Structure 1
Amino acid sequence: MSQESRELRLAATLVEFADTLIGDFDPALHLSRLADRCMEFLGARGAGVTLLEANGRPGPVVHGAQQPESVRELLEWEQEAGPVHDSLASGRAARAVHLASREAVAHWPEFTAAARRFGIAAAYAVPLRRHETLLGALSVYTPHPPSAEGGLAIAQSLADATTVGLLNHRAYAQYRQLSGQLREALASRVRIEQAKGMLAERWGTTPDGAFDTLRQYARRNRRPLDQVARAVVHRVLTDTQLRADRSGPA
């Protein structure tokens, strides 16, 4: 892939990760694609995401569909000690480290031993973070020692676009839920007003009197007021049923 083609592909990927305002969005698949794109753009042997639980502890891990099971093992090792553990703790990037170095071996003995056994020479991690919201961290495992910081910058850009996409979808889903609740509340209000009008006209009483009858029936029978109004509108409830054992004015 030429440099120009690679840059165009990277730009398209960033847009793809931010574009999540769809109804059938799958967060796990989204994160799995992020891990696979790291292999494509960074020459990584593996990559994966560790999500944060609500209590701030490392939680579920997601790796790419094209990656070996050893990646999941490394992600699980990193929950206790490793670049992603440090990134989650600080909320910042953990720069690439040569896993054969004394510093790495002393800092993460179990993780470095496991990584080197799988042919991983270096590892780094970047946070999935937007302002004060930290969702998790992305781990990248490479078969060669760390060199320039370009890989870290690309990984952070991919993680940032993914985070924006996840947060946008969360807001979109909350909006859709609220919108649905408002629509249902409005429809319920319309049904109740319609039932009041039908009863008031049929009985020659006031809308308030008709509403009082609806409310008393709903309470006596422990049914939601909207459900009673719907039954009146569809002529399922009879006048006799509504007025049975009724106390108070009609």
Structure 2
Amino acid sequence: MSAERYGELVALLRADNSDPAARLRRVCGLCVEVCAVTGGAITVQGGDDGTAQAVACATDAISLVLDNLQRTVGEGPGPAAHERGGPALVGDLATAEARWPGFTPGARAAGVAAVFSFPLRLGAVRLGTLDLYRTSVGSLNRGELRDALALADIAAHTVLDDLRSPDPMDIGWLSDIHAVVHQATGVVTAQLDVTMRDALLLIRAHAYAHQTPLDQVSQQIISKRLRLETGE
């Protein structure tokens, strides 16, 4: 990545400097423009396992479907990029059935043919992911990959700077829009005497088995309409 190209991308985002949320939305939009992708989202994640997370911005409904699917099954390009600390790039999603058996069928059913996820990472600090997709098969070319990496870096600095500010934007674990999932995880932890991680796995397994969004299963648990067992 040349300093000149990085500067060009920063210049395209300069109008949104004063508003972190707007800047992140513009990063997503710019990815669509310069990386020849169909859509994208930025997810902010807390903790090394990424279980506390929220969508900061998304360009379209399919990006939100992909986020919900990844949270439900606990796998996919976003979790892979977050865990590895490096990009997860799949130019033909049909080849990822064995790698992500829970994620791939649902993503393909939504019309997604290729996925590209980049970690928002500054040193050892993991902040989330930039998740892009295409409705047609095809890998990112060298220039598109370069720009996506640069935009992920810009997004990471934007999130970190905002978290350090006295009035951070309403994203991520600061006021988690998926708080119902974490509340349900606590309920299952207490009921079954398991770890938080195992409780979340049980909730995800039930959601996947019953083809129900993770948030809906969590609400059923909280309202005592559903009680999981260790054999779920």
Tell me if both proteins adopt one fold, taking TM over 0.5 as the criterion. yes
TM-score normalised by structure 1 residue count: 0.55
Residues 1:119 and 2:127 aligned together: no
Structure 2: 5+ residue stretches without partners: 167-232
Look up the SS of the partner of 2:138 in the other structure: coil
1:13 equivalent to 2:9? Answer yes
**What is the letter of the counterpart of residue 47 of structure 1?**
G
The letter for the 2-side match of 1:62 is A
Q: Percent identity?
A: 27
TM-score where L is the length of structure 2: 0.59
- What is the Cα deviation at residue 118 of structure 1? 2.6
- Distance (whole Å) between structure 1 residues aligned to residue 143 and residue 107 of structure 2: 22
- Equivalent position of 2:38 in the other structure: 45
Deviations 1:26-66 (A, max 9, x none): x33332222211111112111111211246424102333xx
Pair 1:150-2:146 in alignment: no
Contact map agreement 2:24 2:158 (CA 8 A) in 1: no
Amino acid at match of 1:125: S
Q: What letter corresponds to residue 50 of structure 1 in structure 2?
A: T
Number of paired residues? 160
Match of 2:156 in 1: 163
Indicate the residue corresponding to 2:78 in structure 1.
84
Report the alpha carbon displacement of residue 131 of structure 1 after superposing the two structures with TM.
1.4
Corresponding residue SS for 1:120: coil
Moved over 4 A (4+): 16-21
Residues 14 and 149 (structure 1), Cα distance of their counterparts in 2 relative to 1, 3 Å cut: same
Q: Which residue of 2 aligns with 1:208?
A: none
Cα offset for 1:124?
1.3
Residues 34 and 20 of structure 1: CA distance in aligned 2, closer, same or farther (over 3 Å): closer
What displacement does 1:157 show?
0.5
CA distance in 2, matches of 1:132, 1:35: 24
Tell me the secondary structure at the aligned position of residue 106 of structure 1.
coil
Once residues 46 and 155 of structure 1 are traced to their aligned partners in structure 2, the CA distance between those partners, rounded to angstroms, is 13
**8 A Cα contact 2:115 2:131, kept in partner:** yes
Aligned-pair CA distance for 1:149: 4.0
C-alpha deviation, 1:111, in angstroms: 2.0
Pick the structure with more helix per residue.
Answer: 1
Does the Cα contact within 8 Å between 1:120 and 1:142 map onto a contact in 2? yes
Flag the structure with more relative contact order, 1 or 2, with Cα contacts below 8 A and sequence separation at least 6.
2
Q: CA deviation at 1:12?
A: 4.0
Q: 1:83 to 1:76 in 2, by over 3 A?
A: same
1:46-88 Cα deviation digits (max 9, x unpaired): 1111211246424102333xx3312201112123111111011
Task: Map Cα deviations across residues 114-160 of structure 1 (whole Å, 9 max, x no partner).
Answer: 22223221111111111122110111101232333432221111010
Q: Kindly provide the amino acid, as one letter, of the partner of residue 78 in structure 2.
A: V
**Contact kept in structure 2, 1:28 and 1:62, CA below 8 Å:** yes
Amino acid at match of 2:144: G
Aligned to 1:187: none
Instruction: Judge conservation of contact 1:128–1:138 (CA < 8 Å) in 2.
Output: yes
**RMSD over equivalenced CA pairs, Å:** 2.8
Offset from partner CA, 1:82-116 (integer Å, 9 cap, x none): 11110111111112341111xx0111123222222
Structure number with greater Rg is 1
5+ unaligned residues in a row in structure 1: which ranges? 1-6, 175-250
Structure-2 change in CA distance of 1:118 and 1:29 (3 Å): same
1:63 to 57, 74, 85: 57
Q: C-alpha separation between the residues in 2 aligned to 1:124 and 1:34?
A: 15
Change (3 A) 1:136 1:168: same
Equivalent residues in 2 for 1:201-212, closer than 5 Å: none
